[in-house]
Structures are given as C-alpha cells and as structure tokens.
Amino acid sequence: MPLKIYNTMTRQLEEFQPLNPPQVTIYACGPTVYNYFHIGNGRTFLVYDMFRRYLEYKGYLVTFAQNLTDIEDKIINRAHEEGVSPEAISKKYTRAFFDDSNALGIMPADIHPRATDHIPEMVELIRKLIAKGKAYESEGDVYYSVRAFEGYGKLSHRKLNDMKAGARINVDEKKKDPMDFALWKKAKPGEPFWESPWGAGRPGWHIECSAMSIRYLGETFDIHCGGEDLVFPHHENEIAQAEGATDKPFAKYWMHVAFLKMGGEKMSKSLGNFVTVREALKLYSAEAIRYFMLSSHYRSPLDFSEESLKEANAALQRAYNCLENIKLKLGSPTGDTEEIPLITESVAAFDAAMEEDFNTSRAMAVLFELVTALNQKLAEKTLSAEDITYLKSGEKTLRLFGSIFGLFGGQAAKEDENTLDGVVKLLIQLRQEARARKDYATADKVRNELTQLGISLEDSPQGTNWKRILQ
RNA sequence: GGCGGCUUAGCCAAGCGGUUAAGGCGGAGGUCUGCAAAACCUCUAUUGUUCGGUUCGACUCCGAAAGCCGCCUCCA
C-alpha cells in the first residue's frame, strides 16, 4: 500500500509520489530564536521528526532542512529590552533550540540554514521579483505586489477580496495594496542591516524560507511542513515569492500540524498559556512527552495537561514493562544483530496505519496489541523454542516501532546504572536474608525505603527484580 | 463578514456504510505473594452532541441546530 498524505493545497489525501525517488526533500519551518521554544512548538518539531523517521524507515533517502530565523523584529525587540545585541539573543536561543530539541530526542536536520547566512540569496530573489514586475520598491522598502501573482490564496483557499472585507487594514502609504507584504525593510536607526540595491535594510518575514528552500532543495521539492498557523500568510507568501520568481511549482505536498492547546485554547506566547520544553522536561521524561504528542493524529488539536502527561507516562511504562519482562524471562540480552524475524502481522498493521497520513494513534494501538500478546505468552508456565523466538521477535518488533516514535531508548546513563544495579542487588540480598529468618520488619523497611528513592522491588517465584519508577 | 475544523465510554483517543465501535488511562475482578506493592491476565460504550433526510442498512453520507476551537495580525 502506498503512503498517503493530506495535502493542504488540495485539501485531500494524496498518494505520496516523490519527485525523484528514493530521494525525498523536506523543508520545515523552524523557530525564530528569540526565546525558549514551548511545547506547542515542540509538538510541531516532534511531528516533523516522526515524518522523517518513518520515511527513512520506508527506505527513502530524506534530505531534511529546517531553518532558523535569526533576524526578525522580535529578536531586535528582545535585544533592546535586555540591552544586548541581536546577535547575542539569536546565538543564545539557537543554542537553546538545539539543546532542547536534542533533549526531546529530535534528530538534527540535515541542514539548519540561518537567515543571516543567506542574505545574498534573498536579495537575488527579490531582484528577480522586481524584474518580473511582482515586487516594487518604495522609499527603501520592497513590497510584494500580491495582485501580480495569480495564484495568491491558493494554499489557504481564500480570495483577496474576501480577506479585505474583514481585515484590519493598516494604512501604510508605502504599500500599493494593503495586502502587499514586505520583502525588504529599510533599516531604522540602531537596527542591524545589510547593504542591498535598495539601500541598507534587512529581509522581510517570509523571503528567507523561499530563498533557502530553493537554495538547498531546489526550485521544486517534495514536502513543505509547518504549524497550522503558518498556512496564511507565511506559506502563502512563500509560494508567491518562489513561484513568482521561478514560474515552477514550489512544494509538492503541504503538511500542517495542528495546535497544541492548553486549557482548551491554543497555546501561545501572547496568551501566556504556555510551558517551555525546558520546564516540561523537568517534570516529565522526553519519552513521555513524545508518547503524548504522538498519541493523537497530527492534524487534530491536542490539549496539554498534567493529567494527560501522567496517562502517557503510565502507558509508556506498560510498554517498557513488557520489554523488561521479556528480558528477564529470556535471561540474556537479546542482541539485535541476531537473525530474528519481525512479527509480520504487527508490522503490516503498523504500516497500514502509518501509511494513512501518519496515523500514529492507530499505530500506537498496534504496538499495544502486540504488548498484550507478548504478555500473554510471558504468562505461560513453560515456553517452547517457538515461544522464545516469538518473544524475541516481539521485542525486536516493539523496538522497531519505538524507533519510529523515538521511544524505548532508555534514559538513564549506563555507567550509573551498573553501580546502582550492584547496590540495589545487595540490598535485595539483605532483605532476602531478613525474610528467611522471618524478620519482616527489616525486609519491609528495605523495600519501603527504596520505594521512597524511586526504586521498586518486585518479588517473583524466580527471585526479586528491581526497576526505577518512571515519573 | 470570509474560510476551516471538532463533538465517540469516567478521561484521552482511532477505525468503519452492514462483522465483536481500536488502543491507552482510570475502575472492577483474578493470578502471584509471609503481607504487600508491582507486574500480568480478564472484564469495562446495544451506543456514537441533537434533530431531520438518503439507504435494504449510518456513528460513518447529506442537511439543519447547539456547543467548542482555529485562521483571516507576529505566532509551530
């Protein structure tokens, strides 16, 4: 079965046919680095990561580019507030972006182009647009003449005249049409600037994405993704800029991630109802956050709450338990270099779900159905050679699914884990001795104190096992 | 005003024109255990916001209503 993708442009599910298989080119809108990013942004980045992991698993050779907007009004404002240079701000939060992304288990993009490194490309694109009559200079600014681009509005499915009806119109003498948008902004005193044919200034809000995607992925590429709120005007403008200049179709598939909500409303910095990834990671593990984000479909809004993160954590624990119980049952660690087959029915069901526009919710259900099946096998008193193979296959299959979601990586440092293991085993032994002489007060004390420390002991006919209590 | 989306069990969340409406959390039983905890197993929506319609048959298609959310302005 082919992969199907919902394309915002056509508002339909389309069969995914890359321009040059097995190559797949993806451009994803990244952050403006003026602040720590919040988990709403995190959802979008996590979804990109899942797209990419799945496509790679399917055998595509993915080139994934995600930009960093490092020159923009917000950065300049922030710099003024803090009394530092805009570069200092963008540098600090670029670093934070990489740190936090990494902490969430997000794979770095193949290319992370920065706006300020691509001013010449932007100038060139603007020059082309002016030459083609799609843009005009006005007192040191350059604007895109929206009505000169026939397809304007085709992505967001709106007509210029409809928008005009309800929009608050900024009376700007320099614009020919209120909907025209800035490609180049004349520098104000104290602002960073670059020289250009139109004088000193800086690029407008949208031009960087057109310029950098063309530069790295070509004039036409496969997938362009972003948050839902970028459909208009950002992506609409990108299309106008790119197609207006090249006369070639820009992105083939447009994918948009729905919002993360909090308290029933869109999480946003202006509303103040946000939690940064940094803060969230103090309370929940990266994998719990990932599980939560991928437990619903990427085009459905999702409400963030402490409760839902706890649920996610409990679910994740269940899957981890299964993996752990297989390991305990089979004794030795199962090397993944072994020739162990996958559980084909599960893989097929998982694929069928993912091929339906990345239905992670359904794919997650497949994962848990396998967990239950493996647990049932684990509950049997005696295991045949076949059963053991089945368990090994199950483990391998679960780990495969986990790798697409970025789960089951384990989180604690291994060296610490070894020391800890020795210590806990010693305590288990002491407790065992206390139990043997029916000194249950001591036995219970050991267990209870360990529980307080986040370590739980579990007695079984084969002996006592321990594990960390996920939080 | 224009455009779009959502409404499924206590909660989160999927599929599907006709088979038992996934899965997770929670809850209830049970297995194990010195007790316990944990783990595991089993069970947990005759019903799909409401009202009409199409159909042999609708939660699924169409229409209307109610409620909620979003974009049209920087925003992932």
A72: nearest nucleotide, CA–C1' criterion? B74
Q: Mean per-residue pLDDT for A45-60?
A: 98
Q: Is the pLDDT of residue A52 over 50?
A: yes
Q: Which of the 8 DSSP states describes residue A59?
A: T
Q: What percent of chain A has pLDDT over 90?
A: 75
Q: What is the DSSP string of A243-306?
A: HHHH-S--EEEEEEEPPEEETTEE--TTTT---BHHHHHHHS-HHHHHHHHHTS-TTS-EEE-H
Whether residue A332 has pLDDT greater than 80: no
- Residue A337 is predicted with a pLDDT of 54
Residue closest to B72 C1′ by Cα? A163
What is the distance in angstroms measured between the alpha-carbon CA of A365 and the sugar C1' of B47?
A: 22
Say which nucleotide is closest to residue A376, CA to C1' distance.
Answer: B41
Rounded to the nearest 5 degrees, what angle is found at the Cα of A461, between the Cα atoms of A460 and A464?
A: 40
In angstroms, the CA of A2 and the C1' of B38 are apart by 43
pLDDT of residue A348: 96
Question: Higher confidence at residue A204 or residue A465?
Answer: A204
Nucleotide at minimal C1' distance from the A460 CA: B32
Measured CA to CA, the distance from residue A126 to residue A207 in angstroms comes to: 8
Q: Which nucleotide is nearest to A305 (CA to C1')?
A: B12
DSSP A110: S
Q: Which of A22, A103, A99, A100 is nearest to A61 (CA)?
A: A22
CA→C1' distance for A448 and B35 (Å): 13
Distance CA A211, CA A114 (A): 11
Residue A207 has pLDDT above 70, yes or no: yes
Q: How far is the CA of A358 from the C1' of B38 (A)?
A: 35
Contacts of A112 (CB under 8 A, 6+ apart): A30, A65, A66, A67, A68
Arithmetic mean of pLDDT over chain A = 91
**A41 CA, B4 C1': Å apart:** 21
- Statement: residue A333 has pLDDT above 70: no
- Convert the pLDDT of each residue in A31-44 to its tens digit: 999 999 999 999 99
- Confidence (pLDDT) at A422: 79
Q: Is the pLDDT of residue A414 over 50?
A: no
> Å between A300 CA and B6 C1'?
8
Q: Which residues contact A437 (CB under 8 A, 6 or more apart)?
A: none
Confidence at A165, pLDDT banded by 50, 70, 90: low
Minimum CA–C1' distance nucleotide for A444: B36
Nucleotide nearest to A319 (CA to C1'): B24
Residue A335 has pLDDT above 80, yes or no: no
**Interatomic separation, CA of residue A55 and C1' of nucleotide B18, rounded (Å):** 36
Which residue minimizes Cα–C1' distance to B74?
A74
In angstroms, the CA of A454 and the C1' of B54 are apart by 60
User: CA torsion angle for A397, A403, A407, A410 (degrees, to 10)?
Assistant: 90
Give the residue whose CA sits closest to B2 at C1'.
Answer: A162
Closest nt to residue A356, judged CA to C1': B15
Q: How far is the CA of A348 from the C1' of B20 (A)?
A: 22
Q: Which nucleotide is nearest to A316 (CA to C1')?
A: B24
End-to-end CA separation in angstroms for chain A: 39
- Give the pLDDT of residue A364: 97
* Closest nucleotide relative to residue A169's CA, C1' based: B73
What single letter denotes the amino acid at residue A437?
R
Instruction: Give the pairing type, strands A221-227 and A23-28.
Output: parallel
Distance in Å from B8's C1' to A27's CA comes to 35
The nucleotide closest to A434 (CA, C1' atoms) = B34
3-state secondary structure of A440: helix
Instruction: Tell whether the model's pLDDT for residue A169 goes beyond 80.
Output: no
Higher pLDDT, A432 or A239: A239
Higher confidence at residue A107 or residue A333? A107
Q: Looking at residues A187-195, what average pLDDT do you find? A: 92
- Say how far A2 CA is from B4 C1', in Å: 27
Distance B31 C1' – A462 CA (angstroms): 16
* Amino acid A158 CA to nucleotide B1 C1' distance, rounded Å: 13
The mean per-residue pLDDT over the stretch A237-249 comes to: 97
Residue closest to sugar C1' of B23 by CA? A365
- Tell me, in Å, how far CA of A418 is from C1' of B12? 37
The residue that minimises its CA distance to C1' of B13 is A296
Give tens-digit pLDDT for A252-288. Answer: 999 999 999 998 899 998 888 999 999 999 999 999 9
Nucleotides of B under 7 A from a protein CB: 1-6, 11-16, 22-26, 32-42, 68-76
On whether the CB atoms of residues A366 and A401 are closer than 8 A, the answer is yes
Nucleotide nearest to A166 (CA to C1'): B1
pLDDT at A403 over 90: yes
Looking at the predicted structure, is the pLDDT value of residue A93 above 50?
Answer: yes
Which residue is nearest nucleotide B31, judged by alpha carbon to C1' distance?
A379
